[in-house]
Amino acid sequence: MTTSNRLHESTLLAPLAPHTVAGYALFREIVEIDLALPARVKGLFAAVAAVNKGFRELALRELMRAAGQGLTLDQAASGMILLASLRGEGTAMAFGELVQQAYPGQTVAVAATEPAHVGPGDAEANFKAYFGTIPPGLVNLLALVPRGADGYYLMRKGTIDCNRLEPRLAELMLIAVLASDYSPMSAVHIAAARKAGASEPEIAEAILCAVPAAGIAAWASAGALLVAP
């Protein structure tokens, strides 16, 4: 039984378009049960996609469901790490407020990591290793505002390396957010997810986690980048 599907409750939509409601229920089922990815992780993906689109009530419902399915506070807070880098302070803080509502009275564990430091050439080496080549925008950032390139490197490192989800899942969460914005950057992170060990069905489910917030158009561009068996 789904817990986050509000379309079937609509006295306007349900009588008018039962096919729409039934189709959406199938997408909700994919998000809410264990398939290629655990349901608790897909709840987090759906929540970050929802808050990215500004739908805080939807995001909270997704988080509450994921918490009930076993998602830990540290894992949920990983969505804030990602959103801080990908969508900035406002979206990250909005998501953090929702996490605190879903996990009242809990606190995250202190990270056991080395102090943040950027040495000469670290940013450039990281960009080359991650992207294969340095994208034009980052070439310009390195040349024009080197301190900004260092900041980019640290935030990108935080998104993957400091995430309480394994790198494969962190990349899949990035894909869910990018798919919700119909972004061509999905291609970069689909490639990175594969490199981190993600399967095509896992990538497909990550994309579909954007459907509750962004509709079936979320699949249109990102889904075309997958390799069917």
pLDDT in tens, 175-204: 999 999 999 999 989 999 999 999 999 999
Per-residue confidence at 163, pLDDT binned at 50, 70, 90? confident
Q: d(Cα 110, Cα 64) in Å, to the nearest integer?
A: 23
Does the pLDDT at position 105 exceed 70? Answer: yes
Pick from 54, 60, 38: which is nearest to 173 by CA?
A: 38
Quick one: pLDDT at residue 131?
Answer: 85
Q: What is the pTM of this model?
A: 0.91
| Tokens coding 25 | 């229920």
Pick from 77, 85, 87: which is nearest to 111 by CA?
A: 77
